[in-house]
Amino acid sequence: MSEEMKIAKVMDLKGLPCPMPILKVNKGIKEVEIGQVIEVWSTDPGSLSDFPSWARTRGHQILKTDQNGDVTRFYVQRIV
Amino acid sequence: MDPKTREDLLKLFQGKLNEAMTFYLETCTRCGVCIEACHVYASMGKVRYIAAYRQEIVRRIYKKYFKARGNVWPSVGDAKELNDMALEELYEAAYSCTGCRRCMVYCPFGIDTQMIMSIAKLLLVGAHSEPEILTLLADTSIEKGKSLDIFKESFLTGIKKLEKDVVKKWKMEAGGTPIPMDVQGADLLFVALAGAHSIIPTAAIFNAAGENWTLSFFEAVNFGAFVGDPGRTQLILDRIVKEAKRLKVKEVCICECGTAFRVMKQLAGKQPFKVSSVTEVHARYIKEGRIQLDRSLLNGVVTYHDPCQIARNGDVIDAPRYILKHLTNHFREMSPDPKYNWCCGGGGGLVALGEETLDFRMKSSKVKADQIKRTEATTVVTACENCHTQLCNLNDHYQMGVDVKFLSSMVADALVQK
Ligand code: SF4
Ligand code: SF4
């Protein structure tokens, strides 16, 4: 993935329970430029529904979601 | 603050003025009985944390705009203009109050400070001055209700991964589904939090009891209630009500989350299903002989922290004690008794605000830490996510040396496999 897409920042949120992943990603996305992509790792099962919902309310885009074992990787592009 | 904003905020204020609220705003006699009732004042000793003082900030605005000065008026404070400075004071009052309602049980008139603070919170929402994090989390929950189809499949995949851990706690017969989802005609809909720790133990207990259950797609917690926004609170609640009706369940069981339980119980209105806390359901299984527990696992004194929204405000007091009787011979009550129990200090959205409120949460809850220490317990049990987080923080801060546990996970660990 990183070869095809330039990742501006990687956030390792493994082990954090809900709602921490959302709070962290909401902060983290503001630290990159508009148009840039962050890669976020989470093990919280709730993130699978929380992240797409959060992205829709805040106008960002989830470009891809990879599930590997217990870890889910989200690739989120800052749009606004 | 421009006149238009003030006008809009006063409309919001007006909308809150039902009979009970008017009574609360017009009745305080400043008798002072509530002074020591608030854990924040009792721990920090600052006048601004007295329940009646918090109320007075809202009351003075009420006096200015809704009640002519000079009327027969027991409270003697001055009327106050609604401006930016007033908003700051409202913020300080509302977000240092956990809504525990301990002051209410002491007040001779039963004045509900939490309800008065709901005006403060609503004005802050109206002025876009509320904690942004809480609105963000509320909006995320609401969006989930609108777009279930988008995340349904990936959520199901995530839940599937938890099933192996459910089976480790309770072995099932071949072909059984450890975490059933979307089951039309299930008897019970379990509304958990998004974390594995909220789902796995209770799933094992349901399976052990032979319950015909199904897991909700939605998380129980209601951030709309924390931020004091009735519109958002209702939308978050409606997702679950709609799901329960679609599946035609007979019972909606709320996980260990105090606010979620209180909101569902008090605001869902008349529905074709009953609302229970998971603690009540677990107690019922023990009573009916549907699960057996091993009482020999716990050493040392065990005490129980009553979550305010479940005990004082939700009336679930006997069920956790009944369960604990089946888990240990060394249960010791905190003093004072459950109705007057000290709040953990993490309610009202303070725990959700995380690090930002940590210092205040620790300082304002010294009385809670002292109350726990007096029991000499080595295990502190509770049945609310917020309380659990706050008690863990207190344990670290005051070096209490206790184990803080969820009641449901203790039940799951003690299940006797038949
Ligand atoms: S509701 Fe609880 S936190 Fe708020 S003023 Fe009353 S005792 Fe204090
Ligand atoms: S106990 Fe009730 S009446 Fe007395 S000061 Fe407190 S809020 Fe007012």
Q: What is the pLDDT of residues B289-345, one digit of tens each?
A: 999 999 999 889 999 999 999 999 999 999 999 999 999 999 999 988 888 999 999
- pLDDT recorded at residue B76: 53
Interchain pair A18, B133: CB under 8 A: no
State the CATH architecture for B3-129.
Orthogonal Bundle (1.10)
| pLDDT tens digit sequence for A58-75 | 999 999 998 888 888 999
The stretches of B72-192 forming alpha helices (DSSP H) are: 84-94, 102-106, 113-126, 132-146, 148-160, 163-169
For residues B151 and A52, the answer to whether their CB atoms sit within 8 Å is yes
Write the residue with the smallest CA distance to atom 6 of ligand 1.
B103
Interchain pair B158, A22: CB under 8 A: no
Query: Which listed CATH number (1.20.1440, 2.40.50, 3.40.50, 2.40.160) goes with B134-287?
Result: 3.40.50
Closest CB from B147, B157, B195 relative to A17: B195
Q: For the domain covering A7-77, report its CATH number.
A: 3.30.110.40
Which residues 6+ apart lie within 8 Å of B279 measured at CB? B256, B310, B316, B319, B320, B323, B383, B407, B408
Number of H helices, E strands in chain A: 2, 4
Which residues 6+ apart lie within 8 Å of B53 measured at CB? B47, B93
pLDDT over 70 at B217, yes or no: yes
Interchain pair B154, A48: CB under 8 A: yes
Measured between beta carbons, which residues in chain A are less than 8 angstroms from residue B223? 19
Domain spanning B302-413, CATH class: alpha beta
Position with higher pLDDT, B355 vs B403? B403
Q: How confident is the model at residue B175 (pLDDT cuts 50, 70, 90)?
A: confident
Domain residue ranges of chain A, discontinuous segments joined by +: 7-77
Top residue of B132, B134, B137, B157 to mutate, by most chain A CBs within 10 Å, is: B137
Q: How confident is the model at residue B155 (pLDDT cuts 50, 70, 90)?
A: confident
Distance CA B56, CA B390 (A): 28
**Among the bound ligands, the one closest to the CA of B50:** 1
The nearest alpha carbon in chain B to A69 belongs to B161
Closest CB from A17, A53, A70 relative to B144: A53
| pLDDT tens digit sequence for A6-33 | 999 999 999 887 788 888 999 999 999 9
CB of B73 within 8 Å of a chain A CB? The answer is: no
Q: Complex ipTM, two decimals?
A: 0.80
Distance CA B78, CA B85 (A): 15
From-to residues of CATH 1.10.1060 in chain B:
3-129
From-to residues of CATH 3.40.50 in chain B:
134-287, 302-413
